[in-house]
Amino acid sequence: MEQILQDFEQYTVKGMKDRQVPGMAVAVVRGNETIYLKGFGVRKINSTDPVTPNTIFQIGSTTKGFTATLVGTLVDEGLIKWDDRVIDHLPDFQMYDPWVTHEFTVTDLMAMRSGLATGSGEGLCGMGFNRSFLMHSLRYMQPETSFRSAYAYQNLPFLWAAALVENKIGKSWEENIQEKIFSPLNMSDSSTDQRSFQLAQDVAYLHVKKNGKIVALPMDQNSTDWVYTIGPAGGINSNIEDMVKWLCLQMNNGSHESRQLLSKNTIQYLQSPKTVMNTISTKNNAYYCQGWMYMEACPYPIVFHKGGTQGHSAIMAFVPQAKIGIVILSNVYGDSLPDYLMFRFLDLYFSNNAWDDVLEALKPMNTSKVQANASTSMQTDSPLAARPLETYVGNYSNQTLGIINISQDNGILILYAGPGKLKIPLMPLEGDNFSLSKTGAGPVAAFLVVDENKMEGVEIRGGRLFDLFGNNIWFQHTND
Domain total for the chain? Answer: 2
Residues 267 and 368 in one domain: yes
Position with higher pLDDT, 131 vs 399: 131
Asked whether 110 and 270 are in contact (CB, 8 A), the reply is: no
Asked if residue 234 is part of any domain, the answer here is yes
pLDDT of residue 235: 96
Residues 399 and 351 in one domain: no
Residues 241 and 359 in one domain: yes
Residues 271 and 363 in one domain: yes
pLDDT tens digits, 68-77: 999 999 999 9
pLDDT of residue 383: 59
pLDDT of residue 31: 92
pLDDT of residue 221: 66
**What is the distance between the alpha carbons of residues 114 and 133, in angstroms, rounded to a whole number?**
19
**What is the distance between the alpha carbons of residues 292 and 287, in angstroms, rounded to a whole number?**
9
Residues 360 and 409 in one domain: no
What separation in angstroms does the CA of 115 have from each of 111, 205, 272, 274?
A: 11, 36, 20, 14
Asked if residue 378 is part of any domain, the answer here is no
Asked if residue 417 is part of any domain, the answer here is yes
The whole-chain average pLDDT of the chain stands at 89
Asked if residue 84 is part of any domain, the answer here is no
Residues 425 and 284 in one domain: no
Out of 48-52, 185-189, 350-354, which region has the weakest mean confidence (pLDDT)?
Answer: 350-354
pLDDT for residue 369 is more than 50: no
DSSP helix, strand, coil percent of the chain (3-state; round to 5): 35, 25, 40
What value does the mean pLDDT take over residues 157-165? Answer: 98
Element (H or E) spanning 428, and its range?
strand 422-430
Position with higher pLDDT, 360 vs 24: 24
Task: Cite the DSSP H helix spans in 252-355.
Answer: 264-270, 337-350
Write down which residue in 317, 344, 372 finishes a domain: 372
* Among the listed residues 332, 374, 389, the one whose alpha carbon sits nearest the alpha carbon of residue 204: 332
**What is the distance between the alpha carbons of residues 235 and 194, in angstroms, rounded to a whole number?**
8
pLDDT tens digits, 112-135: 999 998 888 887 887 888 999 999
What value does the mean pLDDT take over residues 92-108? Answer: 97
Asked whether 334 and 209 are in contact (CB, 8 A), the reply is: yes
* Among the listed residues 125, 143, 155, the one whose alpha carbon sits nearest the alpha carbon of residue 233: 155
Write down which residue in 324, 339, 372 finishes a domain: 372
Residues 296 and 435 in one domain: no
Residues 193 and 57 in one domain: yes
- Place 201 in a pLDDT band, splitting at 50, 70 and 90: very high
pLDDT of residue 461: 81
Asked if residue 85 is part of any domain, the answer here is no
Write down which residue in 372, 406, 436 finishes a domain: 372
pLDDT of residue 348: 94
Torsion angle, alpha carbons of 103, 105, 109, 112, to 10 = -70
- Place 472 in a pLDDT band, splitting at 50, 70 and 90: confident
Number of H helices, E strands in the chain: 17, 22
pLDDT of residue 337: 93
pLDDT for residue 419 is more than 90: no
What value does the mean pLDDT take over residues 225-238? Answer: 94
pLDDT of residue 121: 82
pLDDT of residue 384: 65
Q: What is the CATH number of the domain that holds 455?
A: 2.40.128.600
pLDDT of residue 375: 34
- Place 230 in a pLDDT band, splitting at 50, 70 and 90: very high
- Place 378 in a pLDDT band, splitting at 50, 70 and 90: very low
What separation in angstroms does the CA of 161 have from each of 90, 106, 167?
A: 10, 7, 10
pLDDT for residue 425 is more than 60: yes
Asked if residue 235 is part of any domain, the answer here is yes
pLDDT for residue 253 is more than 90: yes
pLDDT for residue 303 is more than 60: yes
pLDDT of residue 450: 84
- Place 366 in a pLDDT band, splitting at 50, 70 and 90: very low
What value does the mean pLDDT take over residues 149-159? Answer: 96
Residues 368 and 394 in one domain: no
pLDDT for residue 340 is more than 90: yes
Q: Where are the beta strands (DSSP E) in 277-393?
A: 286-288, 293-295, 302-308, 313-319, 324-330
What percentage of the chain carries pLDDT values higher than 90?
70
Residues 340 and 437 in one domain: no
Asked if residue 105 is part of any domain, the answer here is no
Range of the structural domain that residue 447 is part of: 389-477
pLDDT tens digits, 259-297: 999 999 999 999 999 999 976 555 679 999 999 999 998
Q: What is the CATH number of the domain that holds 208?
A: 3.40.710.10
Q: Return the number of other C-beta atoms located less than 10 Å from residue 222's C-beta.
A: 13
Asked if residue 394 is part of any domain, the answer here is yes
- Place 371 in a pLDDT band, splitting at 50, 70 and 90: very low
What value does the mean pLDDT take over residues 402-425? Answer: 90
Give 142's strand partners.
none
Out of 127-141, 175-189, 254-268, 289-303, which region has the weakest mean confidence (pLDDT)?
Answer: 127-141
Residues 332 and 455 in one domain: no
pLDDT of residue 120: 85
Position with higher pLDDT, 336 vs 112: 112
Asked whether 382 and 460 are in contact (CB, 8 A), the reply is: no
pLDDT tens digits, 203-212: 999 999 888 8
Residues 252 and 171 in one domain: yes
pLDDT for residue 234 is more than 50: yes
